[in-house]
A and B are shown apart, each in its own frame.
Chain A
């Protein structure tokens, strides 16, 4: 076996200090993704700093200078978060996104922070015998002309066509969540849209966080739309599969007219894709199937597909329309 160091810090600050002090160190949360990578040889850190026992495991409502909402500790397990009564009633999209991911056992183990930082399931990223720019910068992208069914159609580059696998992240993108991050020079707050990045010419970097920055909490602001929100994941099998595409939708209506709408997509990009152009096309309009389909097409003018991924366009049209129309029915 490979020898590596494993440490359990006493506090978040100590954890940050440990990782900052050692090149190639990594935080270990629930381990549902990182431990696979250790076995597959995708990553070989010299030091693992296990933050899973730090007391970052509470869910609390906040009402203060930063507004009203719900603060999720980074170590709250996915299953606990999905079952929380306030999450279920005020942010249903979060509970539904979580429950559409993984399996019961994995959700019991996986953490809120770790869920956001899981890495692509692109088969070439996970197979160390094939080139992959994300795993080995400069080696090439095998997915461009290979197994492409799950490839990105928005914001991809010639260096990488991987998609982000998280369902929770798609829900949080729709709700304008804020990620609270602790680094060597203190705490900072990252708007959710700015957490993950597009691949560009350096797909090895998934997020805007420094290697020594630790997610300690996620804040979800309360909104009227958030209370009428849901998540629809389209996948080959009914359970335990990554999204072909997924839709996080949140809706606030004034009569039949859209007052506020949030649309985020999974399975289409290197990051959860907030469909702001589609949202803008719908605000102030009557919510109809045709209007949603047209708004989706507006967002997708920038999409680039291949024979293998062309299906995602009609799938996004249909699933986004279904998601928003069902929310509208709930409201009426």
Chain B
């Protein structure tokens, strides 16, 4: 692959609003989502797959009685561990389904039913009788069972860190906050449930596997699934032209993708369609672990931090380790000479956790930013002033300079918007009608990330038009639109001169739409390809000439710590009769590098704020430890914010450009909106009522006298 040293893009379309490239298709229903592909896309006469899930949390499948299911007139086959095709690689115990009789969690896939219709497959699944040899299970996270120390935490961070002498500093501190904060299990619940269509074929004597999948990364699905079936990457093709959200739950292939491929292996080339139900998503497509954060802050009487400790207890599945990096933002957020963080896991007989929007930062900053609010109250300081006094000169974690840390400006801008100066310093001092009223603030941060392994292709179509291709996915963020803008500016043409192709693993390699890294990673590759294309083919290229390139690493970038920052302000109202809590105002101010498209970026910020509000007030997956599964497994019992809960939500950003990070000057916008938001709501609820709630969600019962 040719590597190109990129130089900053001269922006013309970037930074300006451009309507969504796929908006018309989406609002008219013409956009085709994964499950909807049919004959026009090669999906002819498909069979439907329904998943049969374990009803025990741990043990062995003793027997799968398929007789009743197979006697159903439309059922074609039942696949279980005794007759499933063998996989070549079974190391990943989440993905390697039906390879043995072991049951590692309740809800695990133990059989597949194939039938001519989805309804028949579902009925067939109900008719499959599975018996188990049951073993005792453990499905409850407690402080006393989170003792396992992972080698690293997501994505590849240190498990524990320590600087100075935290215990001595806490002993000498004039003010100490020593509290435990809890966040619940949360499920991503994108609007479009997961779905996969798969079919096998033979091309030039080699097996091929084709898929339409609702995924955040088509190349990632190939990378994880192809080796399991002994395929080279070029023997597998995954497409995802439209995806109805993911929030991390489609960031990696989950077991249903393997189920579709396994089922299709048995049908002599006939496609299979598999839709995961909303209820099944609560067991099969990832979730955010619950967290228990023990935070100790030591400070001088003036609020200057002398010690910060954040000890996290959380859980993973015993069959596959995922360690949420909950304390990671605590490592770089504020200055203090003595610092310690740690992560310990309980390894439970439960479904496999995974990424959910801002893994680490979301639960970790809830704990840290509520603790900071408590410290401000203990010192008699305004919470913004407390943060001013603890602003670090260098990244406390790496010792490097921050490239662009404008947290204090975000706080100051938000304070003006929220009329912070008129805020009473005492809690429980404002009442309007039936409601206690308060305001709160929290800081937000998210690391700027660029992923390796991205390249893009630029081809001249003649007459000033260009085809630009990269195998990335637009999961509803507006990636299709902003990549068009980036390509246009990099080639110095208008956006309508760009034909952008994405969402196909046959296109140049692209990393996942995750970690707020997509635009930075893919956009930089597109700039690299465009700049090399111009260097090779000039301003008036012949039709058909093309260049594929990836961006060379910028060694100068190593000298900086790249993070985005923000400040979230919330107003909370708590009904003095009923305890009900509502948030009429929520405002975020962000420093994220250059905003590429104000319309789609605002949608990301506001969406993140709403999701943070939702986590603050509503979201909680209740796992019944006796059974081992989540029993609030639909959207009637797993509450997300309704329209009536989302009132005045605003977002703005500081004008800036971070060309040390990307040639577009951008750093990423997808996740920072959810960070700190629940803390701002909790701090506002404290200011309203004087009641300090240290666990999410903040529900009415917690505010009753």
Answer whether A237 and B631 are a contact pair too, CB < 8 Å, given A145-B626, A311-B701, A318-B704.
no
Which residues of A sit under 8 angstroms from B644, Cβ to Cβ?
A: 237-240
CB pair B645–A2 under 8 Å, yes or no, is no
CB pair B117–A1 under 8 Å, yes or no, is yes
From residue A326, how far is it (CB to closest CB) to chain B in Å? 9
Per DSSP, chain A at the interface is loop
Which residues of B sit under 8 angstroms from A311, Cβ to Cβ?
A: 579, 700-701, 704
Smallest CB gap from A147: residue in B: B622
Partner of A234 from the list B617, B629, B632, B700 (CB cut-off 8 Å) is B700
From residue A325, how far is it (CB to closest CB) to chain B in Å? 9
CB pair B639–A322 under 8 Å, yes or no, is no
Answer whether A244 and B632 are a contact pair too, CB < 8 Å, given A145-B626, A238-B642.
no
Partner-B contacts on A (CB < 8 A): 1-2, 41, 121, 123-124, 126-127, 129-130, 142, 145-147, 232, 234-242, 244, 311, 314-315, 318-319, 321-322
CB pair A147–B641 under 8 Å, yes or no, is no
Smallest CB gap from A325: residue in B: B577
CB pair A244–B701 under 8 Å, yes or no, is yes
User: Nearest 6 A-B pairs (CB), nearest first?
Assistant: A311-B701, A1-B119, A239-B644, A318-B577, A238-B644, A322-B577
CB pair B626–A234 under 8 Å, yes or no, is no
Pick the interface stretch among B82-90, B120-128, B418-426.
B120-128
From residue B320, how far is it (CB to closest CB) to chain A in Å? 23
Can you offer 23 A-B residue contacts whose CB atoms are under 8 A? A1-B117, A1-B119, A123-B632, A127-B631, A130-B624, A142-B626, A142-B627, A147-B622, A147-B632, A234-B579, A235-B580, A237-B644, A238-B582, A239-B644, A244-B701, A311-B700, A315-B704, A318-B576, A318-B579, A318-B704, A322-B434, A322-B577, A322-B578
Chain A CB within 8 A of B618 CB: yes
A147 to B624, alpha carbons, bound, how many Å?
A: 7
CB pair B704–A239 under 8 Å, yes or no, is no
Which residues of A sit under 8 angstroms from B55, Cβ to Cβ?
A: 129
Smallest CB gap from A234: residue in B: B578
CB pair A319–B577 under 8 Å, yes or no, is yes
Partner of A130 from the list B117, B576, B627, B704 (CB cut-off 8 Å) is B627
Which residues of A sit under 8 angstroms from B624, Cβ to Cβ?
A: 130, 142, 146-147
A244 to B578, alpha carbons, bound, how many Å?
A: 10
- 1/0 contact trace for B669-705 toward A, CB 8 Å? 0000000000000000000000000000101110011
Listed residue (B578, B627, B631, B641) with the most chain A CB atoms within 10 angstroms of its CB? B578
Which residues of B sit under 8 angstroms from A126, Cβ to Cβ?
A: 634
A319 to B577, alpha carbons, bound, how many Å?
A: 6
Answer whether A1 and B622 are a contact pair too, CB < 8 Å, given A130-B631, A238-B645, A244-B701.
no
CB pair B643–A239 under 8 Å, yes or no, is yes
Which residues of A sit under 8 angstroms from B618, Cβ to Cβ?
A: 236-237
Chain A CB within 8 A of B71 CB: no
A314 to B120, alpha carbons, bound, how many Å?
A: 49
CB pair A236–B639 under 8 Å, yes or no, is yes
Partner-A contacts on B (CB < 8 A): 55, 74, 117, 119-120, 122-123, 126, 434, 575-580, 582, 617-618, 622, 624, 626-627, 629, 631-634, 636-637, 639, 641-645, 697, 699-701, 704-705
Which residues of A sit under 8 angstroms from B699, Cβ to Cβ?
A: 236
Smallest CB gap from A238: residue in B: B644
Which residues of B sit under 8 angstroms from A145, Cβ to Cβ?
A: 626
Which residues of B sit under 8 angstroms from A244, Cβ to Cβ?
A: 700-701
From residue A237, how far is it (CB to closest CB) to chain B in Å? 5
Which residues of A sit under 8 angstroms from B634, Cβ to Cβ?
A: 126
Which residues of A sit under 8 angstroms from B636, Cβ to Cβ?
A: 121, 242
Given contacts A123-B622, A129-B55, 8 further A-B contacts (CB under 8 A): A123-B631, A236-B639, A237-B644, A239-B644, A240-B644, A315-B704, A318-B579, A322-B434
From residue B193, how far is it (CB to closest CB) to chain A in Å? 14
Partner of A321 from the list B123, B577, B580, B701 (CB cut-off 8 Å) is B577
Partner of B123 from the list A1, A121, A239, A322 (CB cut-off 8 Å) is A1
A319 to B631, alpha carbons, bound, how many Å?
A: 29
Which residues of A sit under 8 angstroms from B123, Cβ to Cβ?
A: 1-2
Smallest CB gap from A245: residue in B: B578
From residue B127, how far is it (CB to closest CB) to chain A in Å? 10
Which residues of B sit under 8 angstroms from A2, Cβ to Cβ?
A: 123
From residue B648, how far is it (CB to closest CB) to chain A in Å? 14
Smallest CB gap from B646: residue in A: A238
Smallest CB gap from B54: residue in A: A129
Smallest CB gap from A39: residue in B: B122
CB pair B639–A237 under 8 Å, yes or no, is yes
A314 to B705, alpha carbons, bound, how many Å?
A: 7
From residue B107, how far is it (CB to closest CB) to chain A in Å? 9
Which residues of A sit under 8 angstroms from B704, Cβ to Cβ?
A: 311, 314-315, 318
A236 to B641, alpha carbons, bound, how many Å?
A: 10
A129 to B639, alpha carbons, bound, how many Å?
A: 22
CB pair B622–A319 under 8 Å, yes or no, is no
A110 to B341, alpha carbons, bound, how many Å?
A: 54
From residue A233, how far is it (CB to closest CB) to chain B in Å? 10
Which residues of A sit under 8 angstroms from B576, Cβ to Cβ?
A: 318
A126 to B577, alpha carbons, bound, how many Å?
A: 32
Which residues of B sit under 8 angstroms from A129, Cβ to Cβ?
A: 55, 627, 629
CB pair B637–A121 under 8 Å, yes or no, is yes
Smallest CB gap from B634: residue in A: A126
A191 to B122, alpha carbons, bound, how many Å?
A: 42
From residue B700, how far is it (CB to closest CB) to chain A in Å? 6
A230 to B347, alpha carbons, bound, how many Å?
A: 51
CB pair B578–A318 under 8 Å, yes or no, is yes
Which residues of B sit under 8 angstroms from A319, Cβ to Cβ?
A: 577-578
Which residues of A sit under 8 angstroms from B700, Cβ to Cβ?
A: 234, 236, 244, 311, 315
Partner of A237 from the list B122, B126, B632, B645 (CB cut-off 8 Å) is B645
A214 to B577, alpha carbons, bound, how many Å?
A: 40
A124 to B630, alpha carbons, bound, how many Å?
A: 11
Answer whether A239 and B578 are a contact pair too, CB < 8 Å, given A129-B55, A234-B700, A314-B704.
no
Answer whether A147 and B701 are a contact pair too, CB < 8 Å, given A239-B643, A241-B639.
no
From residue A289, how far is it (CB to closest CB) to chain B in Å? 9
A241 to B645, alpha carbons, bound, how many Å?
A: 12
CB pair B617–A237 under 8 Å, yes or no, is yes
CB pair B631–A147 under 8 Å, yes or no, is yes
A121 to B117, alpha carbons, bound, how many Å?
A: 29
Which residues of A sit under 8 angstroms from B645, Cβ to Cβ?
A: 237-239
